[in-house]
Amino acid sequence: MLVVSCNQNDFEYDIHSLVKAFYPAEEVKVFLEHDYGNEGISSSPHLPDINIYFNEDRVLLLLYADGETSVLGADMDEAASRIERKNCLKQLIYAALAQHTGRELPWGALTGIRPVKLAAGRLDAGHTADDVIRHMQETYFCGENKAALATDIALRERSILKDLDYKDTYSLYISIPFCQTRCLYCSFTSYPLSKYQPRLGEYLEALFQEIDMCAQLYPHSAPSSIYIGGGTPTSLAETELARLLNKIKTSFDLGGVHEYSVEAGRPDSINKEKLALLRSGGVGRISINPQTMNDVTLERIGRAHGAQDVVDAFWLARDAGFDNINMDIILGLPAEGPREVERTMAAVRELGPDSLSIHSLAIKRGAKMTEWVGEHGLDLLKNDEETMQIAADTAASLGMQPYYLYRQKNMAGNFENVGYARPGCYCLYNILTMGERQNIVALGAGAISKRIHADGDVERLANVKEVELYMAQMAEKAYVKST
């Protein structure tokens, strides 16, 4: 265990995230100094012990390691904002750990998940692209290539959205939280289809009730984009999928919808009939997600299909008329290195999708991967500049540009997730929700709505994750309404 003690109860999340980025394989605990002393907790012998002391105008960091003490301090203006004080602290931690470990992180001291939003904010305030890149390097110690990537994407997003009326509309997200199997890395709200098959009709009835409530709440507004995700929405049978698409069509004005997307992520959930239903229902963009094109890895991560199934599903979709197909790839999967990634990207190149979402594996607390790491360690989960570059080069060879980006905690290699697309095939929903630019109305179990206030604050409203509880809540609301 690596222990950090502080004399003030502040910035614990940021402290933990940054220290964890340097020590991804270790348990990191952040304590108040009082608790730390009482419990007699100390770092493991091979790890540093960190003490942080705040006062009104200064922060002091003491790092104890190998019998030696390093002391770093920084002055903080008493009138500084909370963000400025947080950045000052993170700069200090980063400097101490970079010096101690001899490592630099790709994104420096930046721990937030939306670096593009940060870059866009400064561009909107009138700063030049060079100013933004310099600010990210100086304030967060970002690598120049990462600062340039975030800024480039912010500029591209501005160009994509410039003629889109999105501020007075909303995006609609609908959750279908079922999958054939649960992948090793998955932390989304997703439940085994085999268990809930008998109750899918009941779930749809609850969802339809929430759709009716939404339509009543926004009688004079229409969605600008629709995204059906999960889970795997195409895990629904043809009759159920037809009911869902028809309900959306009859409940909302789709005349102003610029984009209608459906996650068809599991190739073993796709057939000609479902693809025809999606096309006739107005869906223009789908995702067919291999994650990897290596059969050994697919089996290891719990996917019930092989690489050839991905190829077959892709061509079925092309034959059905889909000209905007996305594919998700994950870098850092167990025992995958540059050779395996190159094999995957070569297969993707042959297919020629219209967009690629390149994810760096993130180890989430709610995923089975956490257990796997406990048994096998982190050594088999590798992601580095070489594998990231292989993916980026493949996207470029397909005529794609990076258009959205976000980060997560505990990402392999401390990298990022990047969406690449051919011009005209960008996913507007991804841009709007990741940039927190538009209200998101999210329906279904585990769905999270977002309201963007005039001052930029974001209000989140989450539906319950448990399918049974979600259905019970909808039934209760229906009963109250009828009495």
- Whether this prediction's pTM lies above 0.75 is answered by yes
Burial group, residue 195, by CB count within 10 angstroms (0-12, 13-18, 19+) = exposed
- Distance linking the first and last C-alpha atoms of the chain: 56
Whether residue 39 is predicted with pLDDT greater than 60 in this model: the reply is: no
Mean per-residue pLDDT of the chain: 92
Average pLDDT over residues 305-333: 96
Q: pLDDT tens across 266-297, in order?
A: 999 999 999 999 999 999 999 999 999 999 99
Query: For the CA atoms of the chain, what is the radius of gyration?
Result: 24
Using alpha carbons, list the distances in angstroms from residue 304 to 179, 188, 237, 298. 11, 18, 18, 8
CA angle (26, 28, 34) in 5-degree steps: 150
Q: pLDDT tens across 384-435, in order?
A: 999 999 999 999 999 999 999 999 888 878 899 999 999 999 999 999 999 9
What is the three-class DSSP state of 70?
Answer: strand
Question: What residues does each domain of the chain span?
Answer: 2-101, 115-161, 170-462
What is the three-class DSSP state of 199?
Answer: helix
Q: pLDDT tens across 54-87, in order?
A: 887 899 999 999 889 999 999 988 778 889 989 9
Whether residue 34 is predicted with pLDDT greater than 70 in this model: the reply is: no
Task: With beta carbons less than 8 A apart as the criterion, state whether 235 and 176 touch.
Answer: yes
Whether residue 40 is predicted with pLDDT greater than 70 in this model: the reply is: no
DSSP state of 26: S
Q: pLDDT tens across 452-469, in order?
A: 998 889 999 999 999 999
Task: With beta carbons less than 8 A apart as the criterion, state whether 261 and 227 touch.
Answer: yes
CA angle (367, 369, 375) in 5-degree steps: 135
- Quick one: which of 124, 154, 122 has its CA closest to 403? 154
Query: What is the architecture, at CATH level 2, of domain 170-462?
Result: Alpha-Beta Horseshoe (3.80)
Using alpha carbons, list the distances in angstroms from residue 328 to 22, 261, 265, 355. 27, 14, 8, 9
pLDDT at 409: 83
Q: Show the tokens assigned to 390.
A: 């292989």
Instruction: Give helix 12-22 / helix 82-101 axis angle, nearest 10°.
Output: 20
Please enumerate in sequence order all residues whose Cβ is within 8 A of that of 442, keeping only pairs 6 or more positions apart, or say none.
172, 173, 174, 175, 448, 449, 450, 463
DSSP state of 46: T
pLDDT at 265: 87
- Options 1.10.3470, 3.30.70, 3.30.160, 1.20.1180; CATH of 2-101: 3.30.160
Confidence of residue 477 (pLDDT cuts 50, 70, 90): confident
Return d(Cα 18, Cα 61) in angstroms, integer.
Answer: 14
Average pLDDT over residues 19-27: 91
Q: pLDDT tens across 296-310, in order?
A: 999 988 888 999 999
What is the three-class DSSP state of 257?
Answer: coil
Q: Show the tokens assigned to 7.
A: 């004399």
Q: pLDDT tens across 91-144, in order?
A: 999 999 999 999 999 999 999 899 999 999 999 999 999 999 999 999 999 999
Q: Show the tokens assigned to 54.
A: 């705040």
